[in-house]
Structure 1
Amino acid sequence: MSTRRIEVPVLTRVEGEGALYARIEKKQVTDLRLRIFEPPRFFEKFLQGRSWKEVPDIVARICGICPVAYQMSATHAIESAFKATITPEIRALRRLYYCGEWMESHSLHIHLLAAPDFLGYPSAMAMAKDHPDEVKRGMRLQGLGNRILKIFGGRPVNPVGVRVGGFYRAPSRQEARELLELLQSALPNAEALVRWTASLKLPEVSRPAPFVSLRHPEEYPMNEGRLVSSQGLDIGAAEFEHHMVEYQVPHSTALHAHLHGQPYWVGPLARLNNNLDRLPPETATLLHETGIGWPSTNPYHSIIARALEVHLALLEAIHLLKHYRRPQQAYVAIEPRAGIGMAATEAPRGILWHRYELDAQGFVRQARIVPPTSQNQAQMEADMRASILESLDFDDEALRLRLESGIRNYDPCISCSTHFLRLEIERK
């Protein structure tokens, strides 16, 4: 038996410190462990005893890339516990805010993390030398998303403009007009992005598994909807913990999750597969142009799904800004009460579920947060097992690159830091 440990001194563009161990015997994977090492951060614990007013700013620090999702899941859950009613104007503002996060996160992932895999570059910096226009396009789209976050949150990272009940301020009419012009001018970029990702040479694989996402009766889901799956699940957020079960595995500090005892997918590919009939006509036309048979079970099509969602978010933001009327007050009055509230929204990486138990004064007694990465963790392991079987004839370096690119399909947000992926293979 031979054991090979590969540690290549380049950033792998995977967030968090990861290691993959695999044992191959007689062309079968007899053991596989995706080890994720992240220090405990205790967010659920130190939310206990905090006022409901503090929660949105605290949870925004959980992830520097998707703070909006954490804020929205939290505020929705607390409003549910307080039996609060939100106005249509505030709901529209929240959807616009969410569009910004999808644009910035997807654009960053496509151009800086995923595209180098498919074009044969070790990093986005190396890719930029030969593809400067594509990288500039990605930075422009990401910058527009960040601009939306800054308008609502004061800054694009760790924004502080959200409160339970709405926002501390709404954009001025001048801000809305200027933003609308910028977004309209970027539409050709978003269309080109979809066509460009569809032209990439992607591995042809299939990973059948339940796709889980939100689904809204009228819209493409962002921050509202019921939890559905491609296998018939249809539940409200309050039923989440009765169907999705988190569990600890001995080889990783990151939790795994199962749906009815099996791995499942969340994220842009799952959303797209479950909501093809909710796409705006312009995005649906681009989807048809890709020539892919949707729904797709190829995780490498996630990069195209992200590009389609950038286009969708841009269209949605333009629509909301065209009909924008600044509300007299950007929030509704909130009266705390004892209760339990749960909510799920769609982070760029997939479903983000929050549960809060609050006392009569609105102080948090218990908090539970289930992020997308833990939900995808078991499916990532299953994907890596299949990838190894498909790549038994690869040399170690080629296998490492295939496995890293496969993990990046899920855009795992582990601990908001970038380390190395260590690959250890035993062959017998």
Structure 2
Amino acid sequence: MQEQRKVSVRVPVLTRVEGEGALELDIDNGVITNLKFSIFEPPRLFEKLLEGRDFQEVPDITARICGICPVAYQMSAVHAAEMAFGVQISPWTRALRRLLYCGEWIQSHALHIHLLAAPDFLGFESALTMAKKFPRVVKRGLKLQSIGNRIMRVLGGRSVHPVNACAGGFYAAPPLDDMRALQAELLAAQEDAYELVRWVASLPMPADEQRFTSVALSHPDEYPFNTGRLISSDGLDIGIEEYDVHFRECQMAHSTALHALLHGKPYLVGPLARVNLLHEQLPVHLLALLEGSDVQFPSRNMFHSMAARALEIAYSVDEAIRILEAYTPTDQPHVAVTPRAGTGFGCTEAPRGMLWHHYDFNADGTVKTARIVPPTSQNQARIELDLYNSLHAFGLEHDDDALRLRAEQVIRNYDPCISCATHFLRLKVNR
């Protein structure tokens, strides 16, 4: 047997992954014998902090879990409270929640594509260096991100950690003039969103076919943001309250984030999982934007996640325009909520994937217990399996720097929000 060579490599700050983590590989005779993608940020204790809080405080507190996808945390929280208290929201509220979600998807996906992922596919160290050769592409991405932020600001009161959402609806109805201005801005950006899909689908993407299970919310009448049943590519079809029957969280010694498994196996949540499962619910004119490219859905190439994000940006722009066209203000932006003792579940589709909440409430509406399962922790086991498969396919004979770059590309492809569940990837290779 070839003697095992041990090499330790420390990588400087990586600014295109959110959070802090490390990857360690043991390679023996051309085979990975051990792989650990470690998340070691300290626990943030949000679930414990929620205990004893009034139900109307929960959306604003959970929004602080993430500055990029606060709406997802708010919406899962308000849906759980509404389930527990038997609240029926109005069609007006339901439409505006979809619009708020459109804003979050647009800004988050645009940020990831242009500032985090695209440099990987084009060989640039950062979006700043990429902008020198592709200035129009980067400007278009920043424009789309800005529009998403503006939607969140108009509906939520501010674009980061919005404060207008509540159980029962919204505290205040957005002014009609602001909504008409949003509509005009989105109409002007519609073709930009379509061009983005064509551009992303034309990028050189590694051929990396893998078998994996996709999981997402499903709704019979719409591409889902807020409501639906949980389905998988392996035939799962359950109510969100049945999550614990089929999914299991487990602690790994090398990570402060829990790993989630479906029937004992890793699974995928996020844009690729959604488009794989629900592409038939996307408008035909959006899927037609992929014609002539190598990207088709459903896809088993994990690197097609970026194309799925671009499709969801275009869908969100179209959907936002549709909702805004029908908008009229109301003097009853929320319905009354009467708290009671009970249990509620909330499950929505964050930009990075399915986000599940479970709350037990006391009779006065305060939180008895809280549990939050973010998408990044659900994807962590899948990321490790993807790294194992992708690095073998890439070739372990490459030097440590080349392996690090490919590993970073694989990890960034999931757009992990590690402090919800990395600015820094430390790679240690033992050969």
Query: Equivalent residue of 2:154, what SS?
Result: helix
Pick closer, same or farther for the CA change 1:336–1:266 going to 2, 3 Å: same
Amino acid in structure 2 at the alignment position of 1:124: A
Contact preservation (8 Å) 1:224, 1:344: yes
Deviation at 1:291, TM superposition (A): 3.9
Contact preservation (8 Å) 2:13, 2:425: no
* Cα displacement string for residues 238-257 of structure 1 (whole angstroms, at most 9, x for unaligned residues): 00111111100011111101
Gaps of 5+ in 2: none
Q: Tell me, yes or no, if structure 1 residue 63 matches structure 2 residue 37.
A: no
Q: Tell me, yes or no, if structure 1 residue 210 matches structure 2 residue 213.
A: yes
Contact preservation (8 Å) 1:4, 1:424: yes
Q: Tell me, yes or no, if structure 1 residue 402 matches structure 2 residue 406.
A: yes
Query: Equivalent residue of 2:423, what SS?
Result: strand
Counterparts in 2 of 1:17-416, with a 5 A limit? 17-390=20-393, 391-415=395-419
Pick closer, same or farther for the CA change 1:290–1:322 going to 2, 3 Å: farther
Amino acid in structure 2 at the alignment position of 1:353: W
CA distance in 2, matches of 1:293, 1:254: 33
Contact preservation (8 Å) 2:374, 2:421: no
Amino acid in structure 1 at the alignment position of 2:309: R
* Cα displacement string for residues 322-360 of structure 1 (whole angstroms, at most 9, x for unaligned residues): 111212211111111110000210000000000010011
Contact preservation (8 Å) 2:359, 2:370: yes
Which runs of at least 4 in structure 1 moved beyond 6 Å after TM superposition?
A: none
Deviation at 1:297, TM superposition (A): 1.0
TM-score (norm 1): 0.98
Amino acid in structure 2 at the alignment position of 1:191: Y
Query: Equivalent residue of 1:415, what SS?
Result: coil
Deviation at 1:10, TM superposition (A): 4.3
* Cα displacement string for residues 122-172 of structure 1 (whole angstroms, at most 9, x for unaligned residues): 111111121111111010000000000001121111111111111111221
CA distance in 1, matches of 2:316, 2:75: 17
Contact preservation (8 Å) 1:150, 1:156: yes
Deviation at 1:289, TM superposition (A): 4.7
Deviation at 1:284, TM superposition (A): 2.2
* Cα displacement string for residues 39-92 of structure 1 (whole angstroms, at most 9, x for unaligned residues): 111000010000001001000000000000000000001100001001111000
Contact preservation (8 Å) 1:263, 1:376: yes
Contact preservation (8 Å) 1:77, 1:356: yes
Report how many aligned residue pairs link the two structures. Answer: 427
Cα RMSD of the aligned pairs, angstroms, is 1.3
Deviation at 1:373, TM superposition (A): 0.5
TM-score (norm 2): 0.97
Contact preservation (8 Å) 1:32, 1:385: yes
Gaps of 5+ in 1: none
Contact preservation (8 Å) 1:16, 1:37: no
Percent identity for Structure 1 against Structure 2: 57
Q: Tell me, yes or no, if structure 1 residue 11 matches structure 2 residue 19.
A: no
